Amino acid sequence: SMEHQPYRTGFHFQPPRNWMNDPNGPMYYKGVYHLFYQYNPYAAVWGNITWAHSISYDLVDWIHLENALSPDDPFDINGCWSGSATFLTGGKPVVLYTGSDTMKHQVQNLAEPKNLSDPLLREWVKSSHNPLMTPVDGIEPEFFRDPTTAWQGPDGLWRVLVGNRMDGHGWALLYRSRDFITWTRSKEPLHSSTRTGMWECPDFYPVSVDGKEGVDTSSFDDSTKHVLKASFNDCDHYVLGNYTPVTDNYSVDTDFLENGSDLRYDYGNFYASKTFFDGGKKRRILWGWIQEADSTTNDIEKGWSGLQSVPRSILLSKTGKQLVQWPVEEIEKLRTGNVSFENKKLEGGSVLEVSGITPSQADVEVSFDLSNLEEAELMDPSWIDPQLLCRQKTAPVRGNIGPFGILAFASKDMTEQTAIFFRVFRSDDKHVVLMCSDQSRSSLREGLKKETYGTFIDIDPLHEKISLRSLIDHSIVESFGGDGRACITARVYPKSAIDNQSYLYAFNNGTFDVNISNLNAWSMKKAQIVSSTKRRKPH
Ligand code: FRU
């Protein structure tokens, strides 16, 4: 029932009720953060897709405004699907979005604010030129969607990518325009891959090679690399490469699903994400949709479905070979009631309760120091799939060095627990670190997806500590390993480990001791996420 809501979150963005999927058109405009999102105004299941709109001054507290775009024109009557915001020359924000038209063909549309002097940009007007891009010249009408933020080349032309499936594979179609109204498709896509299916929600943006600040979408110089992200197989995959404006050549360092180098924003539940450049704090911020892992029947029963991740700032790592992500600093405003300790030995087979905070709504940082690294088990060269390895070697499976980490959402008797942990293996000349989020024991309830996730993480435990930060929030745990080098997000629905029956532990189920060099945990206050009175409909 709607009364008992143990799984609603305290500091993750969600609408008061109903279905939410992809984040859309995020932007920072005149001191205000805007988030639009795919929303069903009528039910907790996908349908009637509308752009809902919320604003924030700090990315933590949010005000829900009126819906920005509703499916009520021939070019979007079957849904106002995903899209992105662009600042035109002069700074005016506009959005490009996909409409599902009267024939359920996907077309790309433009909308702009009705009143630019309203800093909240409450009202949006669809362009009289819509649709701007239609599925012609062999484009399959059901696989043509999700325009990116547009960027402007040195030649003054605007460019935008549209996600596409052609010959059964993933493509990022490239369109160019001088006036943002008339768009011409380039003969060559920006990129494509025969190893994947349809690409949804592409994203394309520069990252600075010195890795300190975010970069605006239309800036180009030698000190940037370009990220191309595509959503497929329930995951957000990305590649890094060098982009040459004007020729629009994009040459990738490693490709999608090649060399076993499968770069993902998050190795858990995280999809259809989108970044934007925050000109205020000079950073690039990533939002991602976190789906439910419960049954549709239960989604309907609880009256809502879907979360947004905590916004993450995103940078190129020092190695230049991957991205790193970290929750925006503003989220730390919610920290309260700190518990911390240093230098605590965790013997093989032991657990340590972290008490004094609210474990179902918490922020935990812990770092581990390892001695005995020569005792690490040998890495088997056939272990190429880290998720499979985490599924086989779940938290109760004892190793030499690890599993060690935390048990979130644990019941006092430990029959429920979500284990986020590491294992260290030894190969010829180096160590291999595996990071897992094991949901297999997360709930005594049946009928849930309890998928276990995992990834290898680029840490050399001989020279650095292994760190973990987990944001725990009633039915979600977002984990950042190695200072953001690997992220794993999971949804869990404990039966008894809810509210004040939820406990948090550090654990070591390896044979050898590990040392907690530092642990810091905080209770998290609730974010203020409220509806503007204007939006409330009379009952
Ligand atoms: C991704 C997606 C997009 C589409 C939208 C529809 O989750 O399927 O490709 O635009 O959701 O809601």
Q: Using a 6 Å cutoff on CB, does residue 76 contact ligand 1?
A: no
Nearby residues of 366 by Cβ (< 8 Å), 6 or more positions away: 405, 406, 467, 468, 469, 506, 516, 518, 519, 520
- Residue among 337, 341, 334, 359 nearest 417 (CA): 359
Q: 310, 478 in Cβ contact below 8 A?
A: yes
Q: Using a 6 Å cutoff on CB, does residue 38 contact ligand 1?
A: yes
Q: How far apart are CA 238 and CA 524, in angstroms?
A: 31
Nearest CA to ligand 1 atom 6: 81
- Locate the ligand 1 atom nearest the alpha carbon of residue 146 and give its number: 10
Nearby residues of 63 by Cβ (< 8 Å), 6 or more positions away: 54, 55, 56, 530, 531, 532
Q: 82, 24 in Cβ contact below 8 A?
A: yes
Token pair belonging to 430: 């180096």
Q: What is the pLDDT of residue 258?
A: 58
- Residue among 137, 150, 147 nearest 185 (CA): 137
Q: How far apart are CA 64 and CA 36, in angstroms?
A: 10
Q: What is the pLDDT of residue 24?
A: 98
- Locate the ligand 1 atom nearest the alpha carbon of residue 98 and give its number: 10
Q: Using a 6 Å cutoff on CB, does residue 21 contact ligand 1?
A: yes
Q: What is the pLDDT of residue 219?
A: 86
Positions in the chain short of pLDDT 50: 1, 535-536, 538-539
Give Cα 398 distance to the centre of its chain. Answer: 31
- Residue among 301, 396, 258 nearest 7 (CA): 301
Nearest CA to ligand 1 atom 1: 272
- Locate the ligand 1 atom nearest the alpha carbon of residue 82 and give its number: 10
Structure ipTM: 0.99
Q: Using a 6 Å cutoff on CB, does residue 146 contact ligand 1?
A: yes
Residue type, 14: Q
Q: 18, 45 in Cβ contact below 8 A?
A: no
- Locate the ligand 1 atom nearest the alpha carbon of residue 83 and give its number: 10
Q: Using a 6 Å cutoff on CB, does residue 393 contact ligand 1?
A: no
pLDDT tens for each residue of 102-123: 999 999 999 999 999 998 999 9
Q: How far apart are CA 351 and CA 370, in angstroms?
A: 17
- What is the CA(191)–ligand 1 centre distance, in A? 20
What are the chain's domains? 18-329 (2.115.10.20), 335-524 (2.60.120.560)
Compute φ and ψ for 334, nearest 5 degrees. Answer: -85, -10
Q: What is the pLDDT of residue 257?
A: 79
Query: Which stretch of DSSP H or E encloses residue 488?
Result: strand 486-491
Q: Using a 6 Å cutoff on CB, does residue 200 contact ligand 1?
A: yes
- What is the CA(82)–ligand 1 centre distance, in A? 6
- Per the DSSP assignment, residues forming a β-bridge with 304 are 18
Total residues found in the chain within this entry: 539
- Locate the ligand 1 atom nearest the alpha carbon of residue 201 and give its number: 9
- What is the CA(200)–ligand 1 centre distance, in A? 7
Q: Give pTM, 2 decimals.
A: 0.97
Q: Using a 6 Å cutoff on CB, does residue 81 contact ligand 1?
A: yes
Q: What is the pLDDT of residue 262?
A: 87
* CA Rg value for the chain: 23
Q: 498, 6 in Cβ contact below 8 A?
A: yes
- Residue 90 CB coordination number (10 Å): 5
Q: Candidates 18, 37, 200, 307: which one to mutate for ligand 1, based on the most atoms within 8 Å of Cβ?
A: 200
- What is the CA(38)–ligand 1 centre distance, in A? 8
Q: Using a 6 Å cutoff on CB, does residue 98 contact ligand 1?
A: yes
Active site (annotated) includes residue 253 = no
Q: What is the pLDDT of residue 532?
A: 85
- Residue among 360, 477, 501 nearest 421 (CA): 477
Quickly count helices (H) and strands (E) in the chain.
2, 38
